[in-house]
Homo-oligomer: A and B are copies of this chain.
């Protein structure tokens, strides 16, 4: 549950409803045809831009923005150190049982490759290829939301121009100019608001989440290769902690003292 996303969206919606009520009525801002121009146009252009298979994954992508709980880097490091200790005491083959208890598919795959006696270069190759394509898939999701964030204001503007042309063509009654322009501006309002409150910041959240996940997976790769190389667990810890912010490092230490490496999770 990503509380920041939910609080941001709910507080943003309340804020703009309040802002509208302050100076007018909500009805002036609800216009079904305007909504159809902005959202319909954005969806139509997004379909031109992306294949169905990507477009239908949009809901799944948006769900990540609301729900993704980041993996704790400290947990990962402690797990790796614990695995390294097992490997040094009992050999690499002893990691097989531990591997099946790992919750993370990426790490499980890596450890099983090591247990199989795969060449270290090949393990590195496979894990880094997987990470590179994970990164690319993530950036496609961001790209779709960024595209929608650029299209929505554009279709908002197109809707306003349609409204202006219609209004200007029928300029018989000057009293209708004001309300006509008001309606025309509603599409610009819709397009700018969904882009700046939803699409663009959601793409940003995906990017932050993606970077966190990639950092964790880089720690995993570095750790697994060190385990395969039979490095000293203390050296491994030193190497992996360099990936973290100084604040997070202390957390790794303190927990380790308490739980003494028993948490293979």
Contact = CB atoms under 8 A, between A and B. Distances in A.
24 contacts: A8-B46, A11-B44, A12-B45, A15-B40, A15-B41, A16-B41, A16-B162, A19-B159, A28-B166, A41-B197, A49-B205, A50-B208, A51-B70, A51-B205, A105-B246, A125-B239, A129-B239, A140-B208, A158-B196, A161-B188, A161-B189, A164-B185, A165-B186, A171-B177
A166 B113 CA distance: 65
A64 interface: no
State which size class the interface on A falls in: 35 or more
A70 B54 CA distance: 13
Contacts of A107: none
B197 A45 contact: yes
Contacts of A242: 126-127, 129-130, 133
Contact of A179 (B8, B127, B169, B183): B169
A258 interface: no
Most buried by B among A40, A43, A140, A158: A158
